[in-house]
Amino acid sequence: MGVVPGLLIALAAGSGRPVTVDGSTLTGAELLGAAAAVAHDLSALPRSSRVAVHATPTMETVVAVVGALLAGVTVVPVPPDSGAAELRHLLGDSAPSCWVGAAPGAPSGLPRVPADPAARASYSPVEISPADTAFVLYTSGTTGPPKGVVITHGAVAHDLDALADAWGWTSADVLAHGLPLFHVHGLVLGVLGPLRLGSGLVHTGRPTPEAYADAARAGATMFFGVPTVWSRLAESPASAAALRDARLLVSGSAALPVPVFRRIRELTGHEVVERYGMTESLITVATRADGRREAGWVGVPVTGIETRLRDDLGAPVPRDGESVGQLEVRGPTLFTGYLDRPDATAEAWTDDGWFRTGDVACIAADGRHRIVGRASVDLIKSGGYRIGAGEIESCLLGHPAVAECAVVGVADADLGQRIVAHVVLRSPATDETALAGELTSYVGAELSAHKRPREVRFTDALPRNEMGKVRKSQLA
């Protein structure tokens, strides 16, 4: 018997706990039966086939994904908000054999295999190797059309086990979140994690403070969120207080602002743990449940993962908690390549076998990591200094007038790049010019003079993607 029972071991063994998605609940046995019906319908496909899943936050999506994995075919999650051009690209690039579950309204010419939560069939395991592909997950496409990231069953299984170790995650837990089901955070961790480990799952449909509070009152012990979710909870004291009985709060996909970390601690009694990963690597670094928690620090490498920092010339960067370098990782959770893109795959790896994340970070002597941001937009080279945008952003968020901010480097004939801060205020300023000067001085005093913004631009909102990450390319 292959790795599928190893990937979804609790579900396959009949020991999975109930799964609730946006108010619809299936027991573990019912979910296995519904997914087995999908697997039966897909059994005639060649094992190399890919299938598309319109990944709405519904039970139908869970049944479709699990059924395809049980059948041993590759899942291509399609974001439900994909525009016409993006949808054409994803389908043309991945060439799926069919849709599993509901298809989007735009005609694609592909047949559809139903994923009915009410259907039932007997589960018949199939042979699947850890090296077989489980997913093709598409990147955000910030530097061109989205690329398909090929992820194996073995990579997913190893990552979930490593996170179970880091977070003390067991079948006694009930995970709650309202994250999208087409990426690593919401789908791989947030759905397959419970199905592998036997914990319960409550997907709230939308990640509202009220929905998280309801899940907590119903017995959820773990909560996943992105910084936007935690920020909204920080502004909803009554809802946040309901999470006091939880065991663990986890944040990812972007840095958690220091004021939000402190406010959540004040309201819930919990210090949020952060973690770091990419579509290409899954989660490689995580703050352990029994480890030191500090806002802005994402923890230590999970089991089996190695990390290192390199400068622009490939030389090692000191692990002193201050020096910034480009982060490289290696280990069993890494992707096997970009779908049909050998050129991009080759560029992503060093000659000695490390994956270039494209992120810049610093590593403390005790192994804890702090992610500064993307090398392309968050590493600012100004006046001969290498400056991390994230450090300045964290500082600005400590000022009482600042609600949100994003720092970018803009080409400058004298400095190379000048630091520009885009700031969303908590309330309108009576004198923006004076406030801009105050914020500049604040950063200079808190950090150092060369890290202060040369320009502060006030805005009503920052451009963000579906995960809450700021689209800095639109600012720069």
pLDDT digit string, tens, across residues 90-107: 999 999 999 999 998 766
What is the strand order of the sheet 416-425 is part of?
A: 402-412, 416-425, 455-458
Q: Is the pLDDT of residue 62 over 60?
A: yes
Tell me what pLDDT residue 14 has.
87
Gap between the Cα atoms of 222 and 203, Å rounded: 12
User: Which of 125, 133, 102, 105 lies closest to 115 in space, CA to CA?
Assistant: 102
CATH 3.30.300.30 for the 379-475 domain, yes or no = yes
How, if at all, do strands 112-113 and 133-138 pair?
unpaired
Using one digit for the tens of pLDDT, what is the confidence trace for 322-352? 888 999 999 999 999 999 999 999 999 999 9
Tell me what pLDDT residue 320 has.
93
Q: What pTM does this model have?
A: 0.85
Beta-carbon contacts of residue 223 (< 8 Å; ≥ 6 apart) = 175, 176, 177, 212, 215, 216, 243, 246, 248, 249, 250
Averaged pLDDT of the chain: 92
Instruction: Give φ, ψ of 27 to 5 degrees.
Output: -70, 170
Q: Is the pLDDT of residue 311 over 60?
A: yes
- Rg for the chain (alpha carbons), in Å? 22
% of the chain beyond a pLDDT of 90:
76
Question: Residue 4 — very low, low, confident or very high, per pLDDT cuts 50/70/90?
Answer: very low
User: Quick one: average pLDDT of 443-461?
Assistant: 90
Tell me what pLDDT residue 395 has.
87
Gap between the Cα atoms of 63 and 450, Å rounded: 53
Cα 320 to Cα 288, 293, 316, 317, 369: the distances in Å are 20, 18, 12, 9, 10
Instruction: Name the CATH superfamily for 4-206.
Output: ANL, N-terminal domain (3.40.50.12780)
Gap between the Cα atoms of 328 and 45, Å rounded: 38
Cα 150 to Cα 334, 353, 389: the distances in Å are 9, 17, 30
Tell me what pLDDT residue 379 has.
78
Tell me what pLDDT residue 176 has.
98
Q: Is the pLDDT of residue 143 over 70?
A: no
Gap between the Cα atoms of 28 and 40, Å rounded: 18
Tell me what pLDDT residue 3 has.
45
**Computed from CA positions of residues 53, 54, 57, 58, in that sequence, does the dihedral angle turn out positive or negative?**
negative
User: Quick one: average pLDDT of 16-32?
Assistant: 95
Using one digit for the tens of pLDDT, what is the confidence trace for 360-386? 999 999 999 999 877 777 778 887 777
Using one digit for the tens of pLDDT, what is the confidence trace for 382-415? 877 778 788 788 889 889 999 999 999 998 888 8
Tell me what pLDDT residue 140 has.
66
Instruction: Give φ, ψ of 363 to 5 degrees.
Output: -125, 130
Q: Domain limits of the chain?
A: 4-206, 273-374, 379-475
User: Quick one: average pLDDT of 432-436?
Assistant: 96
Tell me what pLDDT residue 85 has.
81
Tell me what pLDDT residue 467 has.
56
What CATH class has 273-374?
A: mainly beta
Using one digit for the tens of pLDDT, what is the confidence trace for 127-141? 899 999 999 999 865
